[in-house]
Structure 1
């Protein structure tokens, strides 16, 4: 295609054998507007076929460095014709020589490579003009090629920006098939690396240690089973940011590692309010779905069938081993005007004072939690807690209730036709006070019973650090108007249910 220079008065055109270069107008809007202003054609707008010849640049070519004088065409006075059309005169040669000397001086000044080139003297114009012109032309070409980008948009060559990373200096052909395979392999490696670092199903599927660290569950199969139980009840939850699996994982991480909401918000890329709502909703779902499935009172037949050898001879009718434990919380719990008037027990840790919540827990001889009460203020007696939490209703006539210390519930248990036995004295976990010393006839089997509940409680607290407290105040208020259970009461029950799903329960030895 033949192109003609768009400059008014310039008749240069691309013909076979011409040494001129023809350039498109730049794509950059600002630079393009400067070119249009330099052409100075009133009301004229370039199109895709508009070209500007190289004679309108000081160095004879365009330069894409904004600091270069050839970033915008500037040679328009008496634009010379191409050599094929007209032989330039002596005055035109001298004008072009001086222009190139000025360009060389400007380039050297910008680059700081040396002193400016000495200006051509008038007396040298005829004798030494041609030698100076060659010298300055070499300086200009060397400077422009060494430090200034000259990515020409000429139709005769492919732009270097279009070649990109596939450009080669040799004439060897590019094997695009091998390059495509290498890119696919690199892409796959990057995907695997991102999946491994992320908290997704794929990153946990084959990593039991990671599952255990973040959720407290022994392996991915148990986590998947929990997800299968909860998924049908999560359909009504509208959360476009987190998937069902992410909502469960976020909640388990909150219970397991006791991470703050801000930390979880950063990890999952959501707002703090989303984390708070997700945890409360998931705890409610697990409390109504998972707890009845995993925390239940076994039948007498099942208890006797799997009764550990330590109790078969001494207490074959043992139904449960009970104890109380406490958890500190930040602010007093609102349980009614009568309870608010009581003096709250406190726990002092590192100079900070906390109130206490007390829970009654029942553990089967096989090592699973079979009963968890709701939390009450720590100054409530063990007897009041046991009689008011619904524990006594689980007992059948003839059942034996074991405890490691005197909970003062013997008469209440006897009223149900059951028998309350103290396995032996030790420092109770709830208060840290020494009880009466063990009787002389305490056997090794009874020593195992003494520490059985303590091991289970410690296991649950170690598995879910949130149970160690102090509990934040939003979790200690009643979660529903129709329920007297706070969100933290449900969290304690959920933690016990999840502990029962683990294979690392603590059976009697």
Structure 2
């Protein structure tokens, strides 16, 4: 009986001597429907005489295993197929059959069915070769008569795990060789190690959470709890959106790294993978937010009750009314800038010229509570302004109450200013005692100097702030000296106050008893 393939454009026919196989459509309704869909002939329904040739299967024959790619025909070409391949040589047919088998095995492997071991692969290759040569000499007319028998045999073989070619299906053969298992375990181990090493060097929130040393190094804060507290306070005010290149955490971390390590903007741009302009904008914006939000909550003048309650024992017997210890420190500018001196000191220097002067350093007055907490920071003024004029103009005197004692070094000539507030100035340096003072005051100062060096105490606090935030020790860059029009405060003045605020969140210079 002569059969013609029902696929549109396929002219293959069963003729004497052809090596093609022709298959009737399956009896299983679901599989039959899939075959009809694969043939893709609109409105066409197969009958008992409809046949599909073997060229439409990857391996050259249908397979009853539902997991096989040849369970449903899948090879269709737009060009008409040759009606007769009788003239093809035996070698060409064998090469084509072998390539199809290899393609089928590759697809099975990709579908998770595993792969053949080398010895089984050799056996299969030999058996496939024998089947090809035997098929060349067999008559395909008998195939149609024995279709039902083959179907039953294939179903039986599928239950027993044997394929029509006599080789067990790929799924029943071990899918992983010992070498494969070893390589897989090694790759998994290497993957874990790489992830751990990447986590250690990354600047992510998770990498800081359980690493207090990393927190201290990059932020100056003692631990992640303090860092998280600062972050929770600032996050509602930090701008962030889904398309932002820096998260809110990264914006805060970048700013703290700028203060802590005095890293250049280009360095931070490389570390966070952004442009230098974005680093500059981020630092200025976060500093402004911290100045408005963080500084008022951490740098403030305590009440007299709180001062006396937490007064160190070394001062309790000598200066129980000590309100503040004051000192000055200077920072150098990277480039001299023009500053109107009268504006800087609030017109308290009548002898100074009203013209702008070139300033190459800034001076700050800092007030420290006896416990070691910074309670006052002035704005920066030109370095040549005297301490007396600086104290008079910075607003420190307005915070004093009658009876308060202000401790300072010998070179602070502000006794009359403090006395005008009905407070008292005490000079604590030993040099002052050696300058010829005598009487009761001299004895008092000497006794106090033996118990505590207050001038060293405040110096220690200033050094601690500078050590924690290296930006205060380097040259101040020109963009940070520009005064913000909204707050009338320069960015570096904000930085000094923010550094003192962050320092107050750390352990005090003088431990409380």
Normalised by the shorter chain, which TM-score bucket? 0.5 to 0.7
CA–CA separation in structure 1 for the residues paired with 2:426 and 2:113 = 81
Partner of 1:252: 256
Of residues 311, 329, 340, the one that matches 2:333 is 329
Structure-2 residue corresponding to 1:450:
455
- Give the stretch that moved more between structures: 372-381 or 230-239: 230-239
For 1:81 and 1:423, locate their aligned partners in 2 and report how far apart those are by CA, in whole Å.
Answer: 115
Counterparts of 2:379 and 2:334 in 1: how far apart (Å)?
18
**Cα gap change, 1:81/1:464 in structure 2, threshold over 3 Å: closer, same or farther?**
same
Residues 169 and 205 (structure 1), Cα distance of their counterparts in 2 relative to 1, 3 Å cut: same
Residue 399 of structure 1 is matched in structure 2 by 404
Structure having the higher helix fraction is: 2
- After superposition, the Cα gap between the structure-2 partners of 1:337 and 1:303, relative to the gap in structure 1 and judged at 3 Å, is closer
Q: Are 1:375 and 2:380 matched, yes or no?
A: yes
How many angstroms does 1:402 deviate by? 0.4
Deviation of residue 319 (structure 1)? 0.5
Superimposed CA distance per residue, residues 161-182 of structure 1 (whole angstroms, 9 cap, x where no aligned partner): 9589975635642279x98x97
Question: 2:395 pairs with 390, 395, 409, which one?
Answer: 390
Contact 2:338 2:358 in 1 (8 A): no
Instruction: Please say if 1:232 is aligned against 2:236.
Output: yes
Q: Distance in 2 between matches of 1:396 and 1:503?
A: 28
Query: Is residue 356 from structure 1 mapped to residue 361 from structure 2 by the alignment?
Result: yes
**TM norm structure 1:** 0.64
| Alignment of 1:49 onto 2:49 | no
Which of the residues 311, 317, 328 maps onto 2:315? 311
Residues 404 and 162 from structure 1, CA distance in 2 versus in 1: closer, same or farther, beyond 3 angstroms? same
Describe the SS at the equivalent of 2:284: helix
Match of 2:479?
A: 474
Contact 2:108 2:115 (8 Å CA) reproduced:
yes
Q: Distance in 1 between matches of 2:383 and 2:193?
A: 55
Residues of 1 paired with 2:339 and 2:509: CA distance?
34
Number of equivalenced pairs: 383
Inter-CA distance 153–378: structure 2 relative to 1 (3 Å threshold):
farther
Written as runs of structure 1 = structure 2, the 5 A alignment for 1:120-269 is 156-158=104-106, 162=110, 169-170=117-118, 172-174=173-175, 191-235=195-239, 240-269=244-273
Given the two structures, how large is their TM-score scaled by the length of structure 2? 0.63
Shift of 1:316: 1.2
Q: Does 1:276 align with 2:272?
A: no
Q: Distance in 2 between matches of 1:302 and 1:281?
A: 34
Cα 1:495–1:438 change in 2 (3 A) is: farther
Q: Quote the Cα distance in structure 2 between the aligned partners of 1:160 and 1:175.
A: 14
Gaps spanning 5+ residues in structure 1: where?
A: 26-46, 53-78, 97-140, 142-149, 346-354, 427-433
CA distance, structure 1, for counterparts of residue 462 and residue 510 of structure 2: 10
Matches within 5 A, 1:49-68: 49-50=76-77
Instruction: State the alpha-carbon separation in 1 of the partners of residues 99 and 226 from structure 2.
Output: 61
When the two chains are superposed, the root-mean-square deviation of aligned CA atoms in Å is 4.5
- 1:248, distance to aligned residue in structure 2 (A): 0.8
The Cα shift of 1:505 comes to: 3.1
